[in-house]
Amino acid sequence: LMVAQDITRAFAPWNVAVFAEELDKAGELTAAMTEPSRSNEVRATGHLQDAMLALARGRPAETTSVLNDVARFDPELAMAHRAAIALMPFVDADSRILEEHREALEEWRPRGGCLSDHPVRGFEPLTCIRPVVRAYLLGLLEARLGRPPAAQRRAAEIREFADAEQDQGNGTEFEAAVLAEVEIQQGDTAGALAVLEGTPGYVSYTQALQSLFYSHSHARFRRAQALAASGRLDEAVRWYSSFDEMALYDLVFVGPAMTNAGRLLESAGRIEEARPFYERALRLLGGGEGRFGEMAAEAERALARLSAN
């Protein structure tokens, strides 16, 4: 890897983390991207991968520290991912923290157009569509903070951008994620599901490999939650399973998704089906901190309970 092209270095951690389930070894591979001889784009991407791998293992404190390294090379990239992490449905972020992210994004004035044509950033929306990522994150933040009209205005901004850039696939998903979050925060899970099911669930595999945002992981997780609340268990489990064996950035969602899927199947009496979901969650989150540690403990207790039965 030390003599490989940058794009090879960028994809090596993904292969090892996603298909071999060796997240620690994948973290070691990111060192080939962060050495001083690499460009700022490559070093920022390497540190970002490292931050996401840490969060996938349930280590938010380490993630925060590594995002500071990202900020040295690309402050906007770090800012956007800090906000995205705070907005994840399984991350505990109070209104004060969310408001701080909202204020930072409000002050951000990203210019349009691609900022880099480097291969490791070729599909990263923060390279070419930073304005729409800003609108998307602000929309989710406004929804979480209980400001539906402001969130809906951000959704309209996203739609305008998608029309102008002829990127209806991604634009529709970003817009729906914001509108669904408004429904969820108002207690209308059925309404959120209707919004999300009104989209094709567009995800470009090639783009998702290089971006947390193009993976549309927030909307997919919310869709699984809404399906579960509607009693559509098998569909919910399929959506939770969509995070496995896809993108490195999706790994952040795997532990919580597997825990939720295991819980659903166990509650339905489908013990043997639940077992591998709990096992996967425990492998990822064992030793995790805070909420992630709680999920690991839940999975461990469930496996003991299933074995006893």
Whole-model pTM over 0.85: yes
Q: Report the alpha-carbon distance of residue 10 to residue 42 in Å, rounded.
A: 8
For Cα atoms 252, 250, 258, give the angle at the middle one, nearest 5 degrees.
Answer: 65
Per residue in 113-140, pLDDT (tens digit) is 555 555 555 545 555 567 888 999 999 9
DSSP E strands: which ranges in the chain?
A: none
The average pLDDT across 55-65 equals 96
- One-letter amino acid for residue 19 of the chain: F
Residue 112 DSSP one-character state: S
Per residue in 183-210, pLDDT (tens digit) is 999 999 999 999 999 988 878 777 777 7
CB atoms inside a 10 Å sphere around CB 163: 11
Residue 111 DSSP one-character state: P
- One-letter amino acid for residue 308 of the chain: A
Residue 117 DSSP one-character state: -
Q: Report the alpha-carbon distance of residue 292 to residue 234 in Å, rounded.
A: 24
Q: What are phi and psi of 146, to 5 degrees?
A: 80, 35
Mean of the per-residue pLDDT values of the chain: 89
CA distances from 79 to 263, 269, 278 (A): 34, 43, 33
Yes or no: say if 301 and 278 are a contact pair by the CB < 8 Å rule: no
The two structure tokens encoding residue 83: 């906000």
CA distances from 194 to 130, 176, 188, 265 (A): 28, 10, 10, 24
Residue 15 DSSP one-character state: I
The two structure tokens encoding residue 105: 């994004």
The average pLDDT across 145-167 equals 89
Q: Report the alpha-carbon distance of residue 172 to residue 198 in Å, rounded.
A: 10
